[in-house]
Amino acid sequence: MTTDAKYDARRFDIQTQSAIDTAILERIPFDYPGSATAVTYETDEFTSVCPWTGLPDFGQLSIAYVPQRYLVELRSLKYYLTSFRNVGILQEHAVNRILSNLVALLQPSSMKVEAHFNERGGVRTHATAAYPTPT
């Protein structure tokens, strides 16, 4: 058995994207519509896994938005983000999925989801998704 062959069959359990718990997300009323209030949530503990190997991807995640009528309820956001933990998803796709789910829930004036993923194999990833899409 060659060195590579012993790793060919090794794979960790990987959940599909259907495990991302969008149903847990809740919104609450924002009492100051039109105020141009900027809201930012940050975590150093975002995790997902590589869709091919199941190896973990750790990142710093920032969600910044200008609410119109709704805020995201923070406990629900924490549970939602934690649901990515064992999901096989590309880093670039994760930020877009989070953006898409939160824009659908909150209907903000604008939103930006940014992630700085830790180095793996000598490469760090920085991915940003924005709404509305910059022109």
pLDDT in tens, 47-74: 999 998 888 999 999 999 999 999 999 9
Band of the pLDDT at 8, cuts 50, 70, 90? low
Residues identified as active-site: 50, 57
Helix H or strand E encompassing 101? helix 91-106
Q: In this model, does residue 5 exceed pLDDT 80?
A: no
Separation CA 125–CA 119 (nearest Å): 7
Q: What residue segments make up the domains of the chain, in order of their start?
A: 15-118
Q: Establish how many alpha carbons lie within 13 A of residue 47's alpha carbon, considering only the half-sphere containing its beta carbon.
A: 9
Give me the pLDDT at residue 11, please: 63
Task: State pLDDT tens for residues 94-122.
Answer: 999 999 999 999 999 999 999 999 998 88
Assessment of whether the complete model's pTM goes beyond 0.85? yes
Give me the pLDDT at residue 134, please: 74
* Residues 79, 24, 74: CA angle, nearest 5 degrees: 55
Q: Average pLDDT in the 6-11 region?
A: 66
What's the mean per-residue pLDDT of the chain? 92
Band of the pLDDT at 1, cuts 50, 70, 90? very low
Class of domain 15-118: alpha beta
Torsion angle, CA of 109/77/102/89, rounded to 10 degrees? Answer: 140
Q: In this model, does residue 77 exceed pLDDT 90?
A: yes
